[in-house]
Structure 1
Amino acid sequence: ISFYLHDLFFPTPGVNVTTAIVLPGTNNATMFGMVAIIDDKLTEGPSIDSKLVGRAKGILAFDSISNISLLASITLELEGRDGNINLLGQNRALDPQREISIVGGSGEFRFVQGFATLRTHSRE
């Protein structure tokens, strides 16, 4: 399964923000202490206007004072699929490629386990 996650973290005029910052954090450089709730689009291609294939919903907690790193608990809800996939783990956002644990799922994804590979396509 391959898709693009669009995490719209900070407001941009004319764009619907899909992240709510519930605790601002204490360190501007690494966002340490920031907690956010997400409901992000998953699309077929890198454009936010690409075909919607699902949503990523969950909680992000920025957990490092020395780099931009966050603890992520995310549920992937995929269009046309019966069930979801659950991710849990640390995401060092500036690393070129990261892995996060797939810890389970429901429906057709029941008992799924393994890892997901994350890469940042672009930042604005």
Structure 2
Amino acid sequence: IRFYLHDQFTGSNRTSAVVLPPLNNETLFGQVAIIDDKLTKESPINSKLVGRAKGFLVLDSLSSSSFLQSMTVELEGRKGTIVFHGQNPFTESQREIAIVGGTGEFRNVQGYALTSSVGSEP
């Protein structure tokens, strides 16, 4: 399964929000954000919507550029969800995050997802 997650943290169409500010502005340690992000078939944000990713991010490291990510993915036309959970070292070009479970047709799913950042739009 391949999709593009669009995390819009500014503007009028925001899909994420900081709900707890950082304890330290240099590292952002302690910041917590919630997400309800679009998933699309292709990279452009206006490409076909294929689902949503809902969850939270916690900047939980004093010494690295990493956050704890926990999200549930709902795909259109599919019955069930996929749950992702783990560290996301966002400065690395390619990352892995654990797939820890699912519901419906994804019940008992496990494994990992390869992720990378492909760019950002204003």
Q: TM-score range by the shorter chain?
A: over 0.9
> TM-score, normalised to structure 2's length?
0.94
2:89 equivalent to 1:63: no
Give CA deviations for 1:41-70 in whole Å, capped at 9, x if unaligned.
Answer: 000111110100000000110111223211
1:27 positional shift: 2.8
Any residues of structure 2 matched to 1:15-30 within 5 Å, and which?
15-30=12-27
Helix, strand or coil for the counterpart of 2:105? helix
2:87 equivalent to 1:82: no
Alignment match, 1:116: 113
Match for 2:54: what amino acid? K
**C-alpha RMSD of matched pairs (Å):** 1.2
2:26 equivalent to 1:51: no
> TM-score, normalised to structure 1's length?
0.92
CA–CA distance in 2 between the matches of 1:64 and 1:123?
A: 24
Structure 2: 5+ residue runs without aligned partners? none
Q: How many equivalent residue pairs? A: 121
Helix, strand or coil for the counterpart of 1:112? coil
Structure 1: 5+ residue runs without aligned partners? none
**Conserved in 2, the CA contact under 8 Å of 1:30 and 1:69?**
no
Alignment match, 1:73: 70
The sequence identity of aligned pairs, in percent, is: 60
Match for 1:105: what amino acid? G
Match for 1:23: what amino acid? L
CA–CA distance in 2 between the matches of 1:64 and 1:108?
A: 35
